[in-house]
Every structure is written in C-alpha cells, then in structure tokens.
Structure 1
Amino acid sequence: MMKELTPRTTDYLVSFGECMSTRIFATYLNKIGTKARQYDAFDIGFITTDEFTNAEILEATYPALAKRLHGDWINDPAIPIVTGFLGKGWKSCAVTTLGRGGSDLTATTIGKALGLREIQVWKDVDGVLTCDPNIYSNAKSVPHLTFEEAAELAYFGAQVLHPQSMRPAREGDIPVRVKNSYNPQAPGTLITKARDLSETVLTSIVLKSNITMLDIVSTRMLGQYGFLAKVFSTFEDLGISVDCVATSEVSISLTLDPSKLWSRELIQQASMN
C-alpha cells in the first residue's frame, strides 16, 4: 500500500503487533478479575531520539512516565500493561523502536521512573547461565551478578540481556531479577550493583560469533600522536561501534559490532576518507 519501506515506516508497521498483544492481554486480565489498564509507550511519555529502528530514550522520559503512571494509579488503581520497545521521537513525534533488548529497556525505564524495589525480566532460561546451553547442556544458572558483569557478558555474546537495557536499573540502583517463564520456581539470577567476589573464580563463559575483525597497519603510527583519534573518528562518522581493540607499534586490530551491517559501500567510503 505504501510502496516504500523507510526506517520510519518500518517502526510504525512493527508497532502494531505490540499494541495488539498488550490490548489482548489487558482484556484477558480484566476478564479473569484482575483489574488492568493498557498503555501505548509512545502515549505515556517514552520520549526518544529520532533514530528510527534503534532509538535512544531521553532523560525527559522518566518524569513524564512517573507523572502519568502514578497519577492513574492514585485515581483508579489498575495493573499497567505497557507496550515494549516503542517510543515517540522528540522532533518527529513519530513512533520509534528501541532496537535489540528494547522490551527489557522498557521495563527497566519504568522501574527507574517509579523507583521500584525490584525489576523482574522473564525469559526462557533459568537466569544468566554459566555458558550457552545449546553448546553445553549442563549449564547452570548464576545466582548473583553485578551490573558490570551482566553488561560484559551480554556484550560478548550472552543472549539473555542486552547491556543497554540494564542502564536505567544501574543508574537507579534497582536490583534486576532474571526469571524463567517456563520454570517459575527457579530462583533465577539477581543482578545488583555489588556482590561478594572473594570466592568467585569464574562467572560465565560466552561466545560471540559472526564478528568482523579489522587490521590497520601503518608505519605512520610509530611515535605519532592523533593517529588513533583519526581512526576512531572515521568509525564515528560511519556510525560503526567498535567492540575490542588491540594495538602494537605499527598496527591496530579491532572487532566491530556485528549488529551494524558492513556493506561494500561503507568500506569504500571509509577507504576514501
């Protein structure tokens, strides 16, 4: 019908599934006698950048959310059922999506805005595991993690949590508990700002696949200042996130975020710069 599929159109299109599912779930809860109220995130204060398909939540979101959800609860208490991974662009006022981990980020943002005691994230595994259960079937859940550990594990391959989704909880110092929807009795993993690491040898082993590795070799690096700054400014101009970096006297080796698509046009553009 539209005869186009821009990132803005894509975000608007994919928002409908979430809007429909939350309405269905809120209706079901009300039918079984649990009073609930459905909310579209873009209508209750989730204010984001206009970076469609990968928007970032802006600071103005927190007071707006608190005012709306607190106000509604005081006037007419009902369990809020909020759409995940959606927001409203602050300039465009169009529907945006938050990218990978967006639903968890929605939960932690609401948790920080309301100053909750604990945020729970329900997954299909018993919390954060000692390794990938698809590789080793005897993987066990890790009972406690710090936010730093959770971010490192997520960044380097653990699929349970996305590092960005933990940021609001970390800033608000609110514990996050990861539970299993298919095994509610499992204690899961509790993520807090600090924990006792005196007896810990190894927390978890993670694997990151499909990474792009780039070697930059230049004798001009030797004893020169500003060379690394030029290299990283090129990545900044292209919007490419760098994962790991190792340097020697005449070379830089780095891995690039696999979520960013590397096309031939980007590589040619980089080499021209």
Structure 2
Amino acid sequence: LQYDTFDIGFITTDEFGNADILEATYPAVAKRLHGDWIQDPAIPVVTGFLGKGWKSGAVTTLGRGGSDLTATTIGKALGLREIQVWKDVDGVLTCDPNIYPHAKTVPYLTFEEATELAYFGAQVLHPQSMRPAREGDIPVRVKNSYNPKAPGTLISITRQRDMDKIVLTSIVLKSNVTMLDIVSTRMLGQYGFLARVFAIFEDLCISVDCVATSEVSVSVSLDPSKIWSRELIQQELDHVVEELEKIAIVRLLQQRAIISLIGNVEQSSLILE
C-alpha cells in the first residue's frame, strides 16, 4: 500500500521547508495505519519529509533529516519494537572515514550520545530525527543499504552492558564554525549580563551550539544555520555583532573547527587524566 504522509495524518506547523510535527500526528497515524492493516495486511510504503500545515492545509516539508524523522514518527505512533534507518555506511563510526579510512562501527549508542555526535559533526542522523524514538523509548538501528549483513549501530535510551566500560565512543570534527568572543568587565560579580547576551541571540533567532564562560568573557559557537535549510548570511552576523557591541567588546571568528570527544558522561573524568 502506498501513502503520502499527509494522507495518513502528518499534521505540522505551517513553516514550509522546516515544519515541526504536531502531537496530533501520532494518534492520527496510528488510527489510519492500524485500520488499513485490518482491512488489507499489506506492507505500507510511505513517502518521507512531507506533512500538511494545520492552519493552511498546504503541503509542508520537514527540513533536513525529514525522511528519518518520518520513520521515527511512524515508529512512535505504532509503538514498534525497533526502527531501522538505512544509510551508505555500516552504522555510526568511531570517526569520519574520509579522514581516517580505518574507522570502526560503534555497536551501541545512547540517544544522548547520538544527538551529541549529530550536533558536532557526524552526518549519519539528524538530531531532530531521533526525537520521536527517544520519546517513545524505541531503539533505532542504523544499517547499510550496500552491506545489509552488517549489524549496524543500535541506538537506545540506556547504555548497553557491552559498552559500560568504554569511555570514548567517537571523535567528530565540525568545520566551518563561526565563533564569537564577548568580553566585558560588567560580568564580574554581576547578574543578568548573560541573560542580556542570549536575549540578543533570541531576538535575532540565532541558535548557539557551544558556550564557554570565564569571569569576564563568554565565547559561543553559532549553529551554521538559523534554520536547517540555509547558512547565516554575513549581514546577519554583522547585525548580531553590532547588537552585542552595545554591551561588550566582541570578536568575530570565522572558518574555525571544533573537535569533540563523545563518550560515557559518567566516566568523562577518565578522559582528562
């Protein structure tokens, strides 16, 4: 049976290109697919990354990772035992195989580790696509379309026993990072300064990835896009610098990179020894 997602109940916000799936989607999808299964127990084949805006009724798209998000949404709606997403690699790897060709497959990950990997450079899964599975406590298995016999990577809420003693899971590189160093002696012993800084980012709808603070400064890296579909333009960067310079000294750093070590948070102190 072939379906378009909006025909089986995918209800979204009206933001075309980056729509959010609304909670009403889950019971609607369950009712439609369970009902059709009773009448005709065939395998449903569903298009990805589409929905309908709840106000306009117009077709919307879910943005980056929309196909995987479609799969995890259906999985949560139906209460499946496992969700599989098929890629062109043998699962989540210990590092980028384009940089180090001998990268190995990570057999198990928690959703938190997978999300950190996705945010800081790994491109196998988009962070948003895992949210329904995490909320529904449904494991996600990443498999390789070109090597179906490979076991892949299983992502779940809790750490698997086999991974308890492993401290470092993966190393990821995120390039083309934009950073801002914000320095002000007003921070020293004062409250409310950071709130003013982040209010500026909120007003301009710019997402912040990493934050590091000292007594008189805060450094932030910016998400490479305000929305997942396009990069920040220079005018927007100039505008945020202009606003921040009203309260601090600001230095804009572009074309930087972040190297992240992803692992067991409970044993993270061992990495620093």
Question: Normalized against structure 1, the TM-score is what?
Answer: 0.83
Matched residue SS, 1:68: helix
CA distance in 2, matches of 1:269, 1:212: 14
Higher strand share: 2
* Match 2:205 to one of 229, 239, 242: 239
Counterparts of residues 1-273 of structure 1 (less than 5 Å): 37-195=1-159, 196=161, 197-260=163-226, 261-270=231-240, 271-272=242-243
CA distance in 2, matches of 1:47, 1:233: 31
Matched residue SS, 2:45: strand
State whether residues 200 and 243 of structure 2, in contact with CA within 8 Å, keep that contact through their aligned partners in structure 1. no
Aligned equivalent of 1:7: none
CA distance in 1, matches of 2:12, 2:148: 33
The structural deviation recorded for 1:201 is: 2.4
Deviates more, 1:258-267 or 1:223-232: 258-267
Aligned length: 237
Matched residue SS, 2:141: strand
The structural deviation recorded for 1:272 is: 4.4
Matched residue SS, 2:74: helix
Work out which structure has the larger RCO, using CA pairs closer than 8 Å and 6 or more positions apart in sequence: 2
CA distance in 1, matches of 2:142, 2:55: 35
Question: Normalized against structure 2, the TM-score is what?
Answer: 0.83
The structural deviation recorded for 1:70 is: 0.7
The structural deviation recorded for 1:219 is: 1.8
Counterpart residue identity of residue 267, structure 1: L
Which consecutive segments of 4 or more residues in structure 1 shift more than 4 A?
A: none
The structural deviation recorded for 1:230 is: 1.5
Structure 2 segments unaligned to the other structure (5+ residues): 245-273
Matched residue SS, 2:172: coil
Structure 1 segments unaligned to the other structure (5+ residues): 1-36
1:143-200 CA-to-partner distances (Å, cap 9, x unmatched) read 1111111111111111101111111111111111100000001010111111234310
Identical pairs, percent: 82
The structural deviation recorded for 1:79 is: 1.2
The change in CA–CA distance for 1:153 and 1:44 in structure 2 (over 3 A counts) is same
Counterpart residue identity of residue 264, structure 1: Q
